[in-house]
Structures are given as structure tokens and as C-alpha cells.
Structure 1
């Protein structure tokens, strides 16, 4: 017997351009596996006109000739990417609806990779297992876990803790991900790797995050990641930015050809209806005729298009399951609710469910119906939809009983036993609820935040005490927020509100609501509400919760500048908290809420010895935030850099992105423009991976400032415009001020001073929507220069007078240092030289931009008064510094002034930032510190091979041949 059907199973492959012969099981436990033969193509033949597959059914004795329609281009893409191994790696996502042929292409990729000498590592996501932390990752890595001993100790411990091999602290997903990257990179040294991820959208969340992290970093390693996922699913794989194969349905003529082979016995009207329902889906074209024959009467009565296609397919699978013998249905149901695929475990639980001992013979009918397949001692579903279809088709009582049966046979596995017990009952059960809460600690230790959130939510549902139920829902909400699941957060908060919350739990609810909404049009009203809730929390004894609430209130004042009354309320509230005088969070609240009025108190505390005592990362972050808020760049960089190092070691990417963003502006102030650019690039990347939108926008606008200062006008204006839209919508004044700063910087750096003045004026106008009392400190130097060169000196002197009053209140180093420049360039003729000399007499060693701008302005002033000899020394120094930090526009001005002073400026080699990307600069700088490729990779979450590849490109760009020469070509500041 022969027939042609669209390919939708798992097969081996033979053919030109693909493997000669690779077999594997497809629905039978026979050694004679089916195979596929590709015809057409091959060397010199170009793309095949079609891909033809042949399978041998060794069980039925029939030969099935299968044709894969409309996938020639996709097969060529797969072959090309595999052909690039081991030179380079890459990522390919295969998108499409269920049954469209994604798994088929993945199997072809696996076979092709293995034939080429690569090793295929495979894992498959299952919807019912999505809450089991790192289950998918463990399945993927089993063949290479022998190499775990070669990992650095922190990575090895993180990975083994995630898999439950050793007890240890809760592993950060990013640290586990980095361990996976290095484990795979080590394995790829022996043979290229193909990571085949089927139904990636159903992998557990930690596995998805870890593998997406790896996928973003394997372009220079011999590792190819092919991820198959359903179209429309959100998650890490959906936002990789990788190459996509978007599989559409078959065209009408092809679909009709396939259906004629599958449903020739059905009438024309029925076939037309199936064509409309299938919409070109190959699996539907095969399965829906079967469902029609099995349920002809019901199918004829159904309304066309009433159910979506995926539900149709699930109904088709469930209909076939309903016809099975009772024993097979019991096995099928237990397998559907089980998280494992262990055959003996499933049979044992099915025996409990059936009330008698079942043997492997109970599988026969389900295997024959192509619902299950056996691989060794594993029981697997032919298609993930079968699992959900079985559960949908069974009654609630049957599903509860199946979970109870599994719980009974899992007596020696209390973690899993509790999980199934929780799904075997309706109504409250405080004992099981408490056990679920205990399970949460195990899930967190394994990195399973999603599982912990589910356990807390289910525990709340089983809890009889209203107050305890509400608290558990709030804890679940915290985990959901950390996962970035806004819909789940809102649902849990609504459920918690309906519970009998204590006063402290109501305060926690307010804090959780605040976490997702810093800044907004109602900030002035919201701030005192948060402060009152904080006071109540402190009165109830939870001072730490009070501080959290007050920091949220302070951040509202920062982002939206809620006004003096709101700021005063925050300050009063935090200063009333006894015993918090040396708490870094208190200092951060004061600085963020009132950066001017409390600037002196914060500055004095930071300048004292107490600040040096903090070594924990949270304390360093808070102190760094305080220094940032009052405008103390030198101290902020020092504190935040220390926090950054620890966060990198811990792999905490969310907090790392925040810490990096806080440093960017201060690195510009202290002259480290190259590092500012590299930090900006990394901050934007990590913010996109793990942080909130407001921080991602902050990274973008600071990148715009960098681009502006370097004279990259179009790029700076484009980035600023993209942030302005969001900032205007949310009335986020701080971001709006930074947008104006970026535009002003771009225009000043390119000599368009009138345009710069117009943009920068609003920074200093309290009635402007762009006014922010602290953000304008960063614009003082630029504003003064724009005013001088555009004829607005008088207006600028009025602004300067107001700033001098502010300077009497706060000792902010940023403001006072910028005022040194502004006073000198805006001075009357008779006062200018004194003010230039006074400014340059200050210690500006950590302020190279301000110093060099002062030297340029003073040198220009001297030259124009024919004091040429004096001017040259200043202009030479200014030119050298401006070239080194990358201020190319101002460096050219210094060279022009030197030429006008009669000196020909010496040519210099291009600055490193001009020839290297920010990422390359970051790697080069770490290499100058004597770090090995592996150590650099550990800092930047890259494999050693990728680091080596970057250095291979860096050396010729800098015209050097060794690491020893790097230091002489990089920024010395």
C-alpha cells in the first residue's frame, strides 16, 4: 500500500545535501525506524523543486510515500546555517501554529547536523510541565553534564543547585545561564552543537530565560540554536531578534491535493468545509478527516469557524482518546497530568486509578492510535496537543483522581507528591496549603520562581484563614512581578484585595502596585498616600516595608518632580523613622526626594567614615543612588562600580542594568567617555532583557546624550525623539529634561549654538514641562557655551544668578564644578581672566571635560587678545584631553585655535572609540587589566571563544599585535 501525506511526524532523513541515513523511532518501538529520502537539490542543483520523503512502516508492512510541500526554502536555510558550523554559530526560530510542520523541520535539522559531525542536544517543552524549574534545561544538558566539573566553582554550584544535585543558595537564573553557556562552549570544542528546542514556548520559565541568554551569545561559537515555538507566544524566545522561519499554511492548490489523498471518500461539500477549517494546516488536513469520520453526525451539526483551529485539533485528538479501552484511557490520563515521562511511574499510578494492576499491554491501544509512543522506559506523547486534549476531554472528577493516584505512588518524593495532592482536591485544606508553602523554598532554591508563584497561589486557594490567604497571594504577586508577568500581577492583586488583609498586608499591596507604576500624572496626590501608608507600616513594626514605600514615593518625586509639598512630605516621613539614621535606603530616599534641600546632609554623610563601612551590594546601590541624586559623580561611580562587580558575580542582571544606567552620566562628567559608551550599550541590552521600561528609556536617552556630545546629531536626535514620546505620555519630567540635554549637546558639539540655546533654556525655566530641579545641573556647562556663542549672555547671566542661589544650599560637586566654567565664560570683560584663573586653580583632575573646556575657552580668550604664546599651552592641553576623551567636535575647535595661534597641530592616531564598537572597547579595557579570555567572559557573560574572536578583530583596528600594546591605545582616565 502506498499513499502521500504531508509530513508531520518524527523521521530519519536521507538525501542529497542532508544526511545519508539517520533513523529514529516514530510511533513504534522497533529497531527498524522509518526514514525520509530527499529528492532534488544536492551539489550544483540549486534549491530542490520539492522535498520528497519515503517512510517504511515496519509494523503494518505498508510503504508510505510522504511529500513535504512548500518547505524548500526553509530546508535550504537550515542546510546553510548548519553548513556554517563550526566557523560560526547562530540562532533560528521556527514559528507557526500547531501542526504547521515546525517539528518536522526541527527533526530534519537534527538529522542534518548529526550527519555533518555535529552533536544534537534536544529538549521539548510540555505545557503541563512549564512550572517545573529547569526541567527542560536538564533534559537538554544530560549528554554533556560530564563536563560540569570544568566550570568555575560558582557556576558549577549554581547549575548543580538548579538541578537539585547539590544543596545551595537560590541560584540566579542569569548565573545558571552563564554556566550553561560555558558548559556548551566547552562541549563545542570537541564537536559543533545543535540545540534543538521543540515547543520552546512551553519550556519552564527558567529554562527559557537561560537558553535565550545563551542564544544571544553564541554567534561566534560553534553552536546553532534552533527553537520551535507557536506563533503569538510571548517570552524570551519571541524577542531574540534572531532569524525567523515563519511557516505559513499550504496554498489552496496544495491543500486540495493533500486533502484529496486523505479524504477522497468524503463528499465535496465536506472536503470544502475541512479546507476552510484547516486553513492550510498540514496536521489539520490529516486529522480533521479522521475526526469527521469518527464523529460524522456531530461534525455535520457544528457551525463552521465556531472554534479556533487549535481547539479543533485538540478536539480531534480527544475524540480519538475517548474511543480507547478503559485501561488505556487511565494510562493516557495519568501521563497527561504527570510531569515526568517515567513509564513505570505512570503505570503504577494508572493501576491505582484503575483499581487493579496494569501492564504495558494497557499502552497498546494508545500507541496504535498514535497518541503515545514508547522510547525505552519513557512514555511520550506524539504531539503536545494530545496532553491538553486528554485533560480537556476528561471530567473534573477523573482529573482529580489521576492526581491523587500520582500522589499516592510518589510517597518517597514529597515535593512532587504535594504538587499533585494540591491538584487532587476541591475546597480548603490547610495542611496541603502549608506543604505547598514549604515547597516554595525548594522551588526558589532551584531557580523556579514561576513554580514558587504557582505554589503560593494554589496554597492561598486551599487556605481557610482569610488573612493568611491574602498574605500568600501577595507573596505570589512579588514573584510574578519579578518574572515580568503584568497580567498575573494584576490578577493576584485583585484576588488579594478580596481577602481579609491585615494592615501590613494592605501596605504590601500598595507597595506592589507601586512597583509597576513609578511616575505618572497623579504623582502629587499619590505621594502623600504612600507616605501615610509607610507611617502606618512603621507603627505596626515593619520599618523595612515603610522604607520601601517611601523609596517608591521618592522615585515618583524624581521621575515626575511632584512639587515641593510632596517632596517635603516624603522627607518628613523618612526622618520620623527612628533607628534608620544609618540605613542607606534612608539616605537614598532623602537624596532622591530632595536632591537640593537635603543635598548638604546627604553629601556630609557620604563624605564621612560611615559610608566606607558598607560592602553589601544593596547598601552600595543605595549609597550610589544617593550620590547620583545629589550630583556627586566621582563618589557615585566609585560606589556603583563596586556594586556592579558584585552583581556581575551574582549574575543579577535586573539590578545590574539599573546600576549601569546610574553610572553613565557620571562617567561622562569624569571624562571616561569610552566606558560610558560601553556601559550604555550593555545597560540598554540588559535592561531590555530584564528591567522595566522606564529604565530602558533612561538607557536610551543617556545614549542619546553620548551621541550628542560626540557630534552624532542624527543618531542623538533620533534616540531622543523615541524617548520623548513615552516621557510626554507619562509626564516623566526627568526623562524630558534628559531629552532636552541630548538635543542641546548635539547642537553645541556641532557649533549650532542658537539651536542649542533654544533647547537648553527650558531646563532652567521652572514653568517649563521639561524643568527638573536636579537634572538641570548636567546642562549648566552646555547652556553657558550656547548662550555665549548665540548672543544670549544677558539672559544667561540671569539664569546663572538663580543657580548661584541654589549652590548656596547644596554642595553638589556637579553644580559647583559646572559653575566654575559658566562664571568664567559669561563674565564681564574685566572679571573674566580672574574667574578663568580661579577655576583652573581648582583640583579638576577628575573633571577632564570641564578642565579642558576651561582651557579651550581661556586659551581662545587669550589668543583673541593677542597673547598668543600664553594661549598655546592651554590650547595644547585642551586639544590633547578632548581628543583622548572622544570630544571630537571640541577637539577640532582646539586645533583650529592652535592653527590661528600659529601652531600646526600634530596628527594623532584615531582614538580607540572611533574605531572600536562599545562592546569591543569594554573587552579591550578588561584585557588591559590582565584578565584572561575566560575571566573577561565571566564579567560580560560571553564564552571565552567569543572574547577571543573580538580580540582578534580589535588588534588590527588599533594597529597593534599583542595585549601588551592595548593600554597605550586606550583612554587613560
Structure 2
């Protein structure tokens, strides 16, 4: 690094030096922001020297605009010095990272969160061996998948203890590096520093000439050097970056033909491999290249050669060379590279860039390459390749299919906006009914929970019927599941729910295999959890979770079990799904499973496990970009906190979920919020407020009414009714629940109703009801069993049977203490105190 590159940057150099000084704090992230040529890379080089002098291992990667389509190119460059340690990582993170870097494929495409974690594990192991610094040049030009990983690492730099410095062009889309990242914005050099630099490069200039160059350069160090070298004559008008590009392009145009071809191929290639560039340039030239041809480009100060790599002096050189060439010359360069490059995706991309207009061969190659990179977990690269492939495809039907396939990949990346754009483009083609149905399904994936949209539910049912008629029952099931989820998250009314179930039953009549598909059972359960509870429970009872090997199917079955209130079976199915999803590294689906486990484990009484599921589920929902599941997990966590006696945490956590629930009018989540707040009020000792929250859960006029979700609160509502003296109102609700119990065999209702009957009965009539409740098998329901013991003990005390009451209450207290039910332990103590 030459010192003149840093003239006028004393403050920035000092700031960077502190990162590796004696009082430095590990885990800092600094972003160098500025226009092209302003000196970002020179400062990054200074950072490298500081880090190496401090004994840090330096990991470095550079974003290259031509590599933006090449998946994980930047990540491979960053981690290549650590890949020898990849075998020491835990599975499936090791497998996911290997797959992303093209060193082997996993059973299914690795998810972004798993690749992120694999990279973090590898870097963490490096930090454990010694201090590490990560340097990223031109962050804005990293391929999107590498940029995502770098952002993930940057947001955890403080926890992992490494330093990170990155450069980014001003105005470029930002990578999320976290709230703790510091930005150093590089402005123009001061006038004295600019004059000092100009004197070093062009000390013999006259005053007028010097003033003109200083005005032209606008304090940009790269511009000062080029102007001093005589480039001002070629700059012309326009923005400074464009003028510099013309300068570099003009300099390249003055070289011999062989050197020009070398520069053009290097600019079109995403690689810096001199052998690859030379071979393609020889094809373009039609003759072999010599070392003199390479040296001509080096002497023109456009490139440099290092360790078998051909490197542009500055990114503007690359873009300047490309802009100076004609379209036909650029296409010929890509065609030459397509013959030389070995990596299938790059070869297909260069082939596509070598043609204009429809070219079915190029489109087919790119479509095949897209499938391969998708298998590596590079969904967005696959989307870009398929969209380009569709543009090269002459047939309307095949073009639509490729756009829809691209939309499927965009779903994997969590990009609802991209899915909408691609589906819309596909729908403009001549499209068959089956592809039209697929487009509707893809759109629906990002539209769960639209409130009260009866028309959309009906439309999905019709489209599902079209898909079934076209011979694709699986697509029909996907569409019906989307419709059913709308009925679950938000109130769509009985007619919409009935339409979904009717369509599912018609589908099953037409195709016998449909009934054995987990999606079919999930559709019935989610759309009509009460009216179809008997069918769903019977089907679930015939299953043995240990015999099932498909975690996606287990997740759907667990969802169905939870929907109808078969919580014990849901726990078994979801536990099995969790185990298999962890083994396969499927983080996106694991997020759903963990969220459902929070509420299932909370209802059953396994609160330590529920807390663990909530903590991990929230982290994964945020990492994988699933806001609906973030809100769902948050509110379930609020319920667990209320159960454990932490009212403040329950209120605060419920409030976090209440905002998106009210904005989206998602009465399912609002019902969960009401339960959490009712628990929090119980902990605070405000029985009236608790009763109001619980009562609203059974009121169809309430915003938080959800016929199934309210069943979680049956026993809690009965308790609150007794504690507030509203027994008559409690019995009225109980009458409605008794009618419901004749419709559905929901175990959730079956274990709580006997409790509610006994608690709400007159003391003189309650004896047989307690006997009946105590005869219920509650071996898998410790939370219900503990409260039943407490209520029974209290009734024994009130009816003058102190010895029996003491024994029962002591046993109840032990059960409640083991659960961590602080509020109910206090109630047991209060009952025992009256017997003392």
C-alpha cells in the first residue's frame, strides 16, 4: 500500500487503528461508505495491515459485479482458508455449508438459516484458535446469498468476538449488518490534501492547469491520479464515476488487439483465474496469447497479476472496459467463456449472455443450471437464472412454466414481492388451467390470514377443483390448505369453512389416495376443527408417530391434532417432527413445529420445554423471515410466562404480538393474546380483569373470539367465574360448551369440562362431579390434574372434611410447585392456612 493513497485520511486511519490497538474491544463492525474512487479500498488495505500486525488471522472477500449471479462465490472466497476445518462442524450445518459451496448435495436443498449457522460455526472455531478479522470489499456486489451470510455474521460479531470492516458504495442497497455497526462516510479530500496529492503525481503543472484539475477531480483520489496522468482529455462531461469509466475504457481501446481481448474477457468473466481468462481470450482472438499481451494491460495500469490471478485496479476499470465495447464484441466474449468455463452454472450463464432474443438451447441450459444451484440452497440465483431462461424461451407455455418454477424458488427465499411479480408475468402468457392453479397457490402462500375474505376462500376452492380436474390432486390439496389456513387465522364465517371441507371431501371421493395424505386431514382440522373433530381424531388415533419418517407430514399431522384439541397426540407428532427436522436441517419447518410446541406444551404442563421451544422458535422465525410465526410464538410465550407467575413479562410479551394481530385482524392470535392477559391479571390478583379477558374468549361478538382457541381457557374461565362471583354467567357458557362437546370429541374439551362442571356446581351437588372428574385419565395432562386436585381439596375443606382436604391440598401443592405454577401454589397455601 502506497502512503499517498491515504493522504487526507488521518482521522479515518486513526479510527481504524483503534480496532486493533491495546484497548480494542473484539466484536466491532465498521462500514466504510463512499463514492467510487474515494479511497475505501485503500483504507481497507490499511485495516489489513493493522490486523496482521496485531496477530489477527485475516479473512477477506471482494464483491465483483460480474459474479453477482454466481451463488456463494463471495462466501467461498471468505472461508476458503478455513474449509479444512469444515468436517469438525456439527451436522447438519456441515452438510449445508458443503452443499452451498458446491462440495456435495444434501438430501434436500439446505436452508439459508442452516448455511448461516454453518458459516458462523466455522468462524467461531477460528476465533477460538486466535483473533480474527474479516474484511469485505465492495459489499454491494457480493452475490445475494453471500451477502446474506456476511450480514448474519456481522450481526453476531460482538457475540463471536471478531472484527469486521467492509466497504460499500454510497447509494447501493445496504446489507443488514446490525444496529451496532459504525459507518465511516468518506467525503472528498480537503483542498490541502488534494493539492498535496496532485503535487506528488503532477508536480510540474502550471497554476491554471492545477486549478482546473482540482476542480474536475472534486476531491476524489482516483480522479486526481487519472487526471494527473493525462486522463482528463478523455473524461468528457457527466458524473465523475461515468467520466472515470470512459477514461479507463479509452485507455484499453489504445492497446494491441490481443490485450484488448484479454481485458474484455476478464471484464465479462466472474473469475480472476488468469488461465481461464487467457484461454477464452485466445478463442476470441483466434490465436494464442503471449506474456507480452498480458504485460501490455499491466503497463497501461488497468490490471495487475498476482499468484495466477488477473485483477482490475479498480471496479470502474471493469465497467469502463465493458462500456467501451460493442454489444456484439461482448457477446463473442461470453461465447468464448462458455466454451472454457467448467462450472455448469457459469457456463450456462455465459451462453445465455452470448445470444440476443429467443434461444431455446440457451434457455434449456440455464433452466437445468437453475435446478442445480437451487439444490445447493441458492434460491435467489435459481430465480434469476430461470427468469432469464424464460426470456430466452420461444414457447409461451414453457415460458410460463419456467416463471412459475422461479416463483416456487422465490417462496424458498421468503420473497413474497418476487413471487407476485413472477406469477403475474406467467399469467400474461398463454397458460393452461393447471399452471393457472399453481400460480394461485404460489400467491396464497404469502397471504395466509387475510381477514374475512370469503370471496378469496371460495376462489381457492374453485381453483382447487380445476387443479383436480386437470389431474393434479396434490396441487388441489395445497390450494385447499391455503384456504383452510385463512379460515383458521381470521374469521371467514361458517359458509367459507364449509366450502373448504366440501371441496376436500369431493377431492377425496375422486381420488381415494387423498384421504391418506396428511394435507387432507390438516385441511379438515384447520378449516372445521369442531365440526370435523371426530373424523380427524379417529384418523390420528390410528397413527403411530414412531413409524412415520417424513417430518413435513408429521408437522401437518401435529397441526391437525392441535387444531382439534388432541394435544397429547399433537405433542407426540410434533416431538417426532422436531427430531427429524433437526436431523435434516430444515429450519423453516422447524420454526413452525417449535411455535406449535409452545402452546401444546403449555396446555399440557411441560413449561420448561415450552420456554425452550419459544426461545429457539422466536430466533429461528426472525432468522428465516416468518413474521406470522414470530407473532404466534411470541403470544404463546406470553401465555407460558403468565402460567409461571411472571405477570410483567406476560403483559409485555402479549403486547408485542397484539399489534400485528390487531392490524391484521387475526382473531386467532387475538384470542391467544386475551388468554395471556387473563393469566397475567390472575397473577396480579385482579380477578375481575382476568374474568373479563377469559369471558371475551367465548363471546362471538368479541374481536378475540375464536371457537377453537377459546377451548384453551375453559378451566381458567370457570375458576375466574367462581372467584368473581359470576357463577351463573359461568354456567351459561358451560351450557354452550356442553352442546359443543356433543359435536366434537376434542380431548382438550373432554378433560376440562369435568373440571368446569365440578367447580361451577353448588357445593352440595359437586361431590359426584368431582368423582367423575377424578376418574378422567389425566396422566398426560399434569396441569389440569394439579388444578383439579387443588379445587377438590378446597371443596373438601368447605364441606367440613379437613383431614381429607389437608392430604389432597398438600398433594396438589407438590404438583403445582413441580410445574412452577406460582399463583396456584399461593392459592394452595391459602387453603392450607385455613385448615391450620
**2:482 aligned residue:** 552
Query: In the TM superposition, what is the alpha-carbon distance from 1:360 to its structure 2 partner?
Result: 4.2
**Pairing partner for 1:459 from 379, 386, 389:** 389
Query: In the TM superposition, what is the alpha-carbon distance from 1:151 to its structure 2 partner?
Result: 4.9
Query: In the TM superposition, what is the alpha-carbon distance from 1:881 to its structure 2 partner?
Result: 2.4
CA–CA distance in structure 2, aligned partners of residues 110 and 802 of structure 1: 72
Query: In the TM superposition, what is the alpha-carbon distance from 1:789 to its structure 2 partner?
Result: 2.0
Query: In the TM superposition, what is the alpha-carbon distance from 1:831 to its structure 2 partner?
Result: 2.1
**1:243 aligned residue:** 180
Query: In the TM superposition, what is the alpha-carbon distance from 1:499 to its structure 2 partner?
Result: 1.1
CA–CA distance in structure 2, aligned partners of residues 106 and 872 of structure 1: 74
Deviations for 1:598-648, whole angstroms, at most 9, x for unmatched residues? Answer: 001100110114766432112111111100111121111111111111111
CA–CA distance in structure 1, aligned partners of residues 381 and 291 of structure 2: 32
TM-score, scaled relative to structure 2:
0.90
CA–CA distance in structure 1, aligned partners of residues 211 and 724 of structure 2: 79
**Pairing partner for 1:809 from 723, 739, 743:** 743
Alignment map for 1:141-540 (pairs within 5 Å): 141-151=79-89, 157-166=95-104, 169-173=107-111, 174-212=113-151, 223-229=162-168, 238=176, 241=178, 243-250=180-187, 255-262=190-197, 286=224, 294=232, 298-299=236-237, 312-324=240-252, 325-326=254-255, 327=257, 328-364=259-295, 366-367=297-298, 371-392=302-323, 394-410=325-341, 414-521=344-451, 523-540=453-470
Structure-2 change in CA distance of 1:102 and 1:559 (3 Å)? farther
Query: In the TM superposition, what is the alpha-carbon distance from 1:589 to its structure 2 partner?
Result: 0.6
**Does 2:586 match 1:626?**
no
**2:825 aligned residue:** 891
Structure-2 change in CA distance of 1:290 and 1:656 (3 Å)? farther
CA–CA distance in structure 1, aligned partners of residues 328 and 791 of structure 2: 84
Deviations for 1:474-507, whole angstroms, at most 9, x for unmatched residues? Answer: 0011112211233332321222121111111101
CA–CA distance in structure 2, aligned partners of residues 382 and 553 of structure 1: 56
SS at match of 1:779: helix
Contact 2:34 2:170 in 1 (8 A): yes
Deviations for 1:498-541, whole angstroms, at most 9, x for unmatched residues? Answer: 11111111011101111111121452110111011111111111
**1:78 aligned residue:** 19
Alignment map for 1:425-824 (pairs within 5 Å): 425-521=355-451, 523-577=453-507, 578-579=511-512, 580-609=514-543, 613-824=547-758
Contact 1:170 1:444 in 2 (8 A): no
SS at match of 1:348: helix
CA–CA distance in structure 1, aligned partners of residues 817 and 19 of structure 2: 47
CA–CA distance in structure 1, aligned partners of residues 18 and 566 of structure 2: 53
SS at match of 1:839: helix
Unaligned runs of 5+ in 2: 200-206
Query: In the TM superposition, what is the alpha-carbon distance from 1:719 to its structure 2 partner?
Result: 2.9
Contact 2:545 2:572 in 1 (8 A): no
Contact 2:144 2:380 in 1 (8 A): yes
TM-score, scaled relative to structure 1:
0.78
Structure-2 change in CA distance of 1:115 and 1:807 (3 Å)? same
**1:43 aligned residue:** none
**2:76 aligned residue:** 138
SS at match of 1:766: coil
Structure-2 change in CA distance of 1:66 and 1:268 (3 Å)? closer
SS at match of 2:71: coil
Structure-2 change in CA distance of 1:153 and 1:526 (3 Å)? closer
Contact 2:558 2:571 in 1 (8 A): yes
Contact 1:262 1:289 in 2 (8 A): no
CA–CA distance in structure 2, aligned partners of residues 81 and 893 of structure 1: 58
Structure-2 change in CA distance of 1:797 and 1:166 (3 Å)? closer
CA–CA distance in structure 2, aligned partners of residues 461 and 387 of structure 1: 26
CA–CA distance in structure 2, aligned partners of residues 827 and 734 of structure 1: 30
CA–CA distance in structure 2, aligned partners of residues 234 and 671 of structure 1: 47
Structure-2 change in CA distance of 1:624 and 1:343 (3 Å)? same
Structure-2 change in CA distance of 1:414 and 1:789 (3 Å)? closer
**Does 2:67 match 1:129?**
yes
CA–CA distance in structure 2, aligned partners of residues 287 and 732 of structure 1: 61
Deviations for 1:381-438, whole angstroms, at most 9, x for unmatched residues? Answer: 334454445445544333323212212333x555433220101111111112112222
CA–CA distance in structure 1, aligned partners of residues 413 and 23 of structure 2: 34
Unaligned runs of 5+ in 1: 1-10, 12-33, 35-53, 56-63, 903-973
Query: In the TM superposition, what is the alpha-carbon distance from 1:342 to its structure 2 partner?
Result: 0.7
Contact 1:470 1:496 in 2 (8 A): yes
Query: In the TM superposition, what is the alpha-carbon distance from 1:731 to its structure 2 partner?
Result: 2.0
**2:57 aligned residue:** 119
CA–CA distance in structure 1, aligned partners of residues 601 and 293 of structure 2: 69
SS at match of 1:323: helix
CA–CA distance in structure 1, aligned partners of residues 234 and 84 of structure 2: 54
Deviations for 1:877-896, whole angstroms, at most 9, x for unmatched residues? Answer: 23222222222222233233
CA–CA distance in structure 2, aligned partners of residues 820 and 271 of structure 1: 90
Query: In the TM superposition, what is the alpha-carbon distance from 1:285 to its structure 2 partner?
Result: 7.5
CA–CA distance in structure 1, aligned partners of residues 616 and 22 of structure 2: 27
Structure-2 change in CA distance of 1:674 and 1:557 (3 Å)? same
How many positions carry a matched residue from both structures?
820
CA–CA distance in structure 2, aligned partners of residues 768 and 835 of structure 1: 31
Contact 2:452 2:490 in 1 (8 A): no
Q: Which moved more, 1:181-190 or 1:194-203?
A: 181-190
Q: Which moved more, 1:621-630 or 1:851-860?
A: 851-860
| Richer in helix (by share) | 2
Deviations for 1:762-788, whole angstroms, at most 9, x for unmatched residues? Answer: 211112222111111112222222222
Contact 1:134 1:447 in 2 (8 A): no
Contact 2:19 2:28 in 1 (8 A): no
CA–CA distance in structure 2, aligned partners of residues 750 and 291 of structure 1: 77
Structure-2 change in CA distance of 1:563 and 1:386 (3 Å)? farther
Contact 1:82 1:112 in 2 (8 A): no
SS at match of 1:499: coil
SS at match of 2:146: helix
CA–CA distance in structure 2, aligned partners of residues 270 and 756 of structure 1: 78
CA–CA distance in structure 2, aligned partners of residues 788 and 367 of structure 1: 89
CA–CA distance in structure 2, aligned partners of residues 484 and 616 of structure 1: 23
Structure-2 change in CA distance of 1:127 and 1:869 (3 Å)? farther
Query: In the TM superposition, what is the alpha-carbon distance from 1:371 to its structure 2 partner?
Result: 4.1
Q: Which moved more, 1:800-809 or 1:203-212?
A: 203-212
Contact 2:7 2:193 in 1 (8 A): no
CA–CA distance in structure 2, aligned partners of residues 274 and 855 of structure 1: 86
CA–CA distance in structure 1, aligned partners of residues 520 and 322 of structure 2: 52
CA–CA distance in structure 1, aligned partners of residues 263 and 593 of structure 2: 51
Contact 2:561 2:569 in 1 (8 A): yes
Structure-2 change in CA distance of 1:761 and 1:321 (3 Å)? same
Structure-2 change in CA distance of 1:871 and 1:505 (3 Å)? same
